[in-house]
Structure 1
Amino acid sequence: MLPKSQIKLITSLKQKKYRQQHGFFVVEGVKTITEFLQSNLKLYKLYTTESFNIDAKDETLISDADLKRISFLKTPNKALAVFKIPESNAIDISGLIVALDAIRDPGNLGTIIRLCDWFGVKELVCSKETVDCFNPKVIQATMGSITRVNINYVDLPSFLKESKLPVFGAFMEGENVYSKKLPESGVLVMGNEANGVSKEAEAVITEKISIPRFGNLKATESLNVATATAILLSEFRR
């Protein structure tokens, strides 16, 4: 049986303040853990059930009951790992960069990290109001892609102001992205799920772009931010 101290440590990592305090985050599921083990991230502890075994150092075999105690999932998936939070690398201010302005939903952030990985975007810049990328739900949604994207939390308006790249923002009233010639390098700013891009960030945006609605009624208010990011990244890479 797992010691209470270990259970307490792992379950505390659901909260951002304890992740920052201890410098650890949780990864669950065999496939995702395997991807993390193949990355440069440092493993702290790996817990697996008797029915499954991953070849790694610092591995502890535990019961299904213990896995349920420490898992953040309704249906735990055979293994849970604790990794050390890495230091962020300096932002490479060339190529295509995605910038997020107060994205709050962990699923949206996780999906956007996967999209960055898919479209070869190495740099993801987040405002300080954006959800923590080491949130367990974000980690699940990235499916391992977080190991291949450099993520930094910054004062977003200041970062955009200092950028020498053209800054594109997604807006309902922007220029039709399908009729616009897009550069290979630039910053793409995606706004908050409810309020869009903040006034402070909007003031620094050089070009507003939009995804046109084609439905006859045009009744849909807006697209999900992760869906919109997918469409816009596809256009940038076309």
Structure 2
Amino acid sequence: MPNNRLRDAILRNGMTPAVIAEKIGVDPKTVERWITQDRTPYPRHRHAIAALVREDESYLWPDAVTAEAASQIGQSEMIQLYSRRSSVPYDLWRRLIERAEKRIDVLAYAGLFLVEQDPMLVDTLRQKAEDGVEVKILLGDPTSDAIERKSVEEGTPGVMAAKIRQVQQYYNRLDGVQGVKVLYHDTTLYNSIYRFDDEMLVNMHVLGFPAPHAPVMHLRRINGGDLFRTYSDSFDRVLSASWSLKGGEVAA
């Protein structure tokens, strides 16, 4: 059975088996066999190919990386653990946003702190989108039960919905900007996720504590790891169940 994932990844990145062969130093026929006969390359070749096509090794060759190995690699994906979000340096947020070349993804209920700590954030996101970066912002639907439940659990009924309506006024300025999507969800979030290309900040939610007082993991994707991929998959699942609001207006 052919390895269609590998074939698709190579083509999607504007390359051919011959180009891959030249870059990693093997015969083109060898790459063809990896595709048409689903042969598994040596680890050094898997690592090189995965880096070239920007895919996880475990996605291209699901049987090549054991769950134990993926877990061990995943431990190396965590760069830093902060005891609370308020401890994350502002310079780190700014660096991750400014260096993003392909994607900036935000999954939160409101994430108001982003625009409060950087008044120029919206202008930066607009410029990033104009430069070809895909920007996706997923906010909670302020009319959903999940939002009010979150506010009640934090002892501040109605506050979360108010924060969403406040931050939405900032993102209204991105209406019509190609490459930017501001969507809404009614998911019960266990984490807020901020993804910048191959780096990510995960703000874990703790019952009864506001997000600024909950821990944050700084992750960097490593081929074959499963930690970064787990949270990426979580973002993508919420994305698939999110929707836009007509005219960019949040229901009052």
Is TM more than 0.5 here?
no
More helix by share: 2
Aligning the two structures, in what range does the TM-score lie when normalised by the shorter sequence?
Answer: under 0.3
TM-score (norm 1): 0.26
- Could you say which structure has the higher strand fraction? 1
RCO comparison, higher one (Cα < 8 Å, 6+): 2
What TM-score, normalized by structure 2, do the two folds share? 0.25
